[in-house]
Copies of this chain bind each other. A is one copy, B any other.
Amino acid sequence: MLPTPTKFTLVAGTGEGHTPLNAFDQALLAAGAGNVNLLRVSSILPPGARYAERVILPPGALVPVAYGALKSATPGERIAAAVAVGIPESGFGVIMEYSGRTSREEAEKTIRGMVEEAFDMRGLSLVTYRVKSVEHEVVMAGAVFAGIILWY
C-alpha cells in the first residue's frame, strides 16, 4: 500500500492573477504549498499523526492534501475557504473543507458545524479542534485556498 502520512499542518493563502489558475497558483504559493504536486484526498487524519507548525516540502514532491478552494473572476466578489480537523481522544481525526462566496467568519462557523456533524455520525467525541481560513476580495481573478497537508 501507499505510505500513510504521519504528520500534518494547516495552511491557507489567497491569490490574484490574470487567470483563475494563476490566482490559484499564487494562493498556493502564499500558503507555502505552491512548489509541490498536490494530491487531493478525502479526508481523514491518520491515527497518531502529529501536528507540525511547519513542514518542509521538497519541490515537486507528491503531497497528500485535503483542501477547500475557490476561484472567481468576478471583481469585487468576496470569497472564503476554510479547513478544519477534529481529533478524538484516540484514533483517527476527521477533516472537513469548505469554500464559498462568503466571509471568513461565516466559513469558520459553517465548518465547525460540519466537523461536529461528522463526529456525531461516527459516535465520536471532539477533543481537539484546529481550523484555518482565509478570505479575499477579487480584483481581477482571485483564489482562496485552505488545506491540511498530510506529510511524513
Q: Report yes or no: A49 in contact with B42, Cβ–Cβ below 8 A.
A: no
Q: What is the oligomeric copy number? A: 3
- For the residues of A in contact with B, the DSSP-based class is mixed
A41 in complex: contacting residue of B37, B47, B98, CB < 8 Å? B37
CA distance A121 to B35 in the complex (A): 12
A102 to chain B, nearest CB (A): 13
15 contacts between A and B (CB under 8 A): A1-B151, A3-B62, A17-B117, A25-B96, A25-B121, A29-B122, A35-B44, A37-B41, A37-B42, A37-B44, A37-B46, A38-B42, A41-B62, A45-B60, A60-B92
By a beta-carbon cutoff of 8 Å, the part of chain A in contact with chain B is 1-5, 17-19, 21-22, 25-26, 28-29, 34-47, 49, 58-62, 64, 66, 91-92, 94, 96-98, 110, 113-114, 117-118, 121-122, 150-152
